[in-house]
Amino acid sequence: MIELTGVSKSFGDQLVLDEVDFDVRVGETVALLGSSGVGKSVLLKHINGLLQPDSGEVVVDGMNVRHLPRKELAELRSRIGYVFQNGALFDSENVYENIKLGITDETCAADENYCHDRVTQCLKLVNLAADTASKYPAELSGGMRKRVGIARAIAGQPRYLLYDEPTSGLDPVNADIIDSLVGKLQEELGVTSIMVTHDVRGAFKVADRLALLHEGRIIAMGTPNDFMTSKEEAVRQFLERDFDMTRSWFELESGDSGENGH
Amino acid sequence: MSSLTIDPRRYVGRFALSSASHVGRVSYLVLEMLRGLREWKIWAPRALGLANDIGYGSLFIVMLTAAFAGAVTSVQTGYQFTATIPVYFAAGVIVESIILELGPVLTALILAGRIGARYAAELGTMRVTEQIDALESLGRSSVSHLIIPRVVAGTLLVPVLVVFASVVGVGSGWFAAKSSLDISYADFVFGARYFFRPWDAWYAMIKSFFFGLAITLVPCYMGFTAKQGAEGVGKATTSAVVAASVLILFLDALLAKLLLE
């Protein structure tokens, strides 16, 4: 379980997170929504200790990330796969080496046969051909880089997956592929996932619960149905842009008449 | 008008705070490196690869610089010498100048531009494209993977390159001295041996080692803490080369005072 309590974070004079409370239960997928620059990625980076809060607590599996010694923090990070917004692939290494770095168990990482099999398996899971392994990040398209980023994140068999804007900058077709992939990994690997996004439709498609970050605070958190029926002004405004498309999809999925949405 | 008034105290204060902050963060980085030295299985192969890469890559420019420095030193020595001083004295001046000063300092300044800029740009780019965050998110130490190999490779390599530079510098100095001083080989070797003490070579190596640390550690730190995209990488690279060069000159003066007096 992931639990953030009263987390605040400032950069200089700018308050980005203002006493944020946020929790994710084991096995669920939560989409963290919010406008660009609102602090979604900052919140996500607190979960694996890439950023430390100015105040408040971040607890993962009962361990307070803020006070973890170096070794325990490294061990915790190896259980949390992190998919970066632009892939953050090591550009001097090929795809094989990139994914291999994701194998966090030292014994497994030292076994070349295991690494080869695991890399091939991960590439297959993210719908990439085995020959992609020999390519360098610069030779890949944006969508492929994102998928390699996901493959690297799952290579170490994590319990948690954190996705930072997995569909940003992608065309609708590739965005749908990534959304489906998030759902598929959730089903096949049973991981607990948090997806930071401003793609409302994608969030409704894959998430069990949604949270909306607005002006440094989580102002709404609930199921897709709760969001569709929310009277909260900020939620309505955020959903408005994609509302018709999202509502149609939601009605189709839930078999709802759509009356709840108004 | 008051807003345009320059208050020197404010600038001094800001400079002092910024310097203290850099010193603190570099010290923390050094501590992290000392801790990371235990993970030699991670950094040693990378350091070897980097040393190979940087060594071959820098050899030509280092030897070229040393060749010109040696020749110019000979010509200038010939220009300043008068017939009242024995000619082998000139050989002593040329060889000592190259071994004690020109070889190490010119090599270090060239490498500060070549290796320092490369390290700062590489790590800065990795920082702004979140590659360093990615490494840490995988539970791996970015210091062991990225900083230690670079610092070890550079620090061990600089003394080796200084040896090459000194040999080439003395060689070219001898060739130039033949025409500028009309000195024989026997006189040149006699003068060089007469003034040379084994400590001179040790001094040059100790200096080179510290220069190597400056050339690698400062740019690694600058790149590692780069911010704000391409502009940040550019700033980090420029600052790294300037700071490493200034540090080389400072260390040169300090070590001369401490070790030669």
Q: Give the pLDDT of residue B136.
A: 92
Contact: A74, B129; criterion CB under 8 Å = no
Given a cut of 60, whether residue A127 has pLDDT beyond it is yes
b/e map of A128-152 (b: 16 or more CB within 10 Å)? beeebbebebeebeebbbbbbbbbb
Within chain A, residue ranges assigned H as helices are 40-47, 70-77, 95-101, 106-110, 112-125, 142-155, 172-189, 200-206, 224-228, 233-240, 243-254
CA dist., res. B202 & res. B205, Å (int): 5
The most confident of the ranges A252-261, B74-83, B113-122, B228-237 is B113-122
Both tokens assigned to B120: 């700062």
Give which of B113, B115, B120 is closest to B227, Cα–Cα. B120
Q: A77 in contact with B at a CB cutoff of 8 Å?
A: yes
Contact predicate A201/A242, CB 8 Å: yes
Strands A192-197 and A160-164: parallel
* Cα diameter, chain A: 57
Give DSSP secondary structure letters for chain B: -GGG---HHHHHHHHHHHHHHHHHHHHHHHHHHHHHTT-HHHHHHHHHHHHHHHHHHHHHHHHHHHHHHHHHHHHHHHHH--TTS-HHHHHHHHHHIIIIIIHHHHHHHHHIIIIIHHHHHHHHHHHHTTHHHHHHHTT--HIIIIIHHHHHHHHHHHHHHHHHHHHHHHHHHHHHHHHHT---HHHHHHHHHHH--HHHHHHHHHHHHHHHHHHHHHHHHHHHT--SHHHHHHHHHHHHHHHHHHHHHHHHHHHHHHHH-
Give the separation between CA A119 and CA B23, rounded to whole angstroms.
Answer: 42
Longest dimension (CA), chain B: 72
Partners of A104 on chain B (C-beta within 8 Å) are 138-140
Nearest to A103 by CA among A84, A128, A120: A120
Contact A90 B135 (CB under 8 A): yes
Torsion-angle region of residue B6: left (phi > 0), alpha (psi -120 to 50) or beta?
beta
Residue of B nearest to A85 (CA): B130
**Distance (Å, rounded) from C-alpha A138 to C-alpha A3?**
37
- At residue A104, the pLDDT reads 84
CB spacing of B135 vs A84 below 8 angstroms: no
Nearest beta carbon to residue A75 from set B129, B139, B141: B139
Q: What does the alpha-carbon distance between residue A243 and residue A259 come to, in Å, rounded to a whole number? A: 14
Q: Which of B126, B137, B140 sits opposite A50 (nearest CB)?
A: B137
Q: Cα A85–A130–A88 angle (5° rounding)?
A: 20
Choosing among A91, A107, A122, A146, which should be mutated to test the B contact, i.e. which has the most B CBs within 10 A?
Answer: A91
Residues of A within 8 A of B138 (CB-CB) are 77-78, 82, 101-102, 104, 152, 156
Contact B139 A77 (CB under 8 A): yes
Cβ B137–A156 below 8 Å, yes or no? Answer: no
Nearest CA-CA distance, residue A248 and chain B, Å: 37
Contact B131 A78 (CB under 8 A): no
| Partner-chain contact B138 A90, CB within 8 Å | no
- Quote the Cα angle for B214-B220-B223, to 5°: 135
- Indicate the pLDDT class of residue B19, thresholds 50, 70 and 90: confident
A63 and B CB contact within 8 Å? no
Interface test with A, best of B46, B50, B138, B146 (most A CBs within 10 A): B138
Which residue, chain included where needed, has tokens 């009356």? A259
**Residues of B numbered 99-138 whose beta carbons fall under 8 angstroms of chain A's beta carbons: which are they?**
126, 129-131, 133-138
- Indicate the pLDDT class of residue B105, thresholds 50, 70 and 90: very high
**B41 reaches A (C-beta below 8 A):** no
Residue A258 pLDDT exceeds 60: no
* 8 A C-beta contact, residue A252 and residue A205: no
Mean pLDDT, to the nearest integer, of B86-99?
88
Task: Tell which residue, B219, B222, B214, has the closest CA to residue B252.
Answer: B214
Q: How far apart are CA B144 and CA B37, in angstroms?
A: 7
- Tell me: the pLDDT tens digits for B107-129? 999 999 999 999 999 999 999 99
Pairwise CA distance, residues B195 & A13, whole Å: 62
Bridge partners for A217 per DSSP: A214
User: A210-214, B69-73, B80-84, B238-242: which has the minimum mean pLDDT?
Assistant: B80-84
**Prediction ipTM score:** 0.84
Q: How far is CA A48 from the centre of its chain?
A: 12
Pairing between β-strand A2-11 and β-strand A55-60 as defined by DSSP bridges:
antiparallel
How far apart CA B146 and CA B127 sit, in angstroms, is 11
Whole-angstrom distance, CA of residue A49 vs CA of residue B214: 31
Mutate which: B118, B129, B132, B137, vs A, most A CBs within 10 A:
B137
List beta partners, residue A32.
Answer: A196, A211
* Residue A85 contacts B, CB cutoff 8 Å: yes
Radius of gyration of chain B (CA): 22
B134, A156: Cβ pair inside 8 Å?
no
| Average pLDDT of span A130-136 | 92
Res A12: pLDDT: 85
pLDDT average, residue stretch A104-125: 88
Q: Is the pLDDT of residue A159 over 80?
A: yes
pLDDT value of position A262 = 36
Contacts of B229 in chain A (CB under 8 A): none
Min distance A49 CA to chain B CA atoms (Å):
8
pLDDT at position A260: 42
Nearest CA in chain B to A46: B137
- Say yes or no for a CB contact (<8 Å) between B131 and A74: no
pLDDT band at B7, cuts 50/70/90?
A: confident
Question: Cβ of A104 under 8 Å from any chain B Cβ?
Answer: yes
Spans of all domains in chain B = 8-260
Count contacts between A and B (CB, < 8 Å).
51
User: Are residues A104 and B135, on separate chains, in Cβ contact within 8 Å?
Assistant: no
Nearest CA distance, B138 vs chain A (angstrom)? 5
Residues 199-238 in A contacting B (C-alpha not used; CB under 8 Å)? none
Give the pLDDT of residue A257.
45
Provide mean pLDDT across the span A231-257. Answer: 67
pLDDT tens track for B128-174: 999 999 999 998 899 999 999 999 999 999 999 999 999 999 999 99
Q: Given CB atoms, is A52 within the 8 Å cutoff of chain B?
A: no
pLDDT band at A142 (very low <50, low <70, confident <90, very high): confident
Interface residue A171 vs chain B (CB under 8 A): no
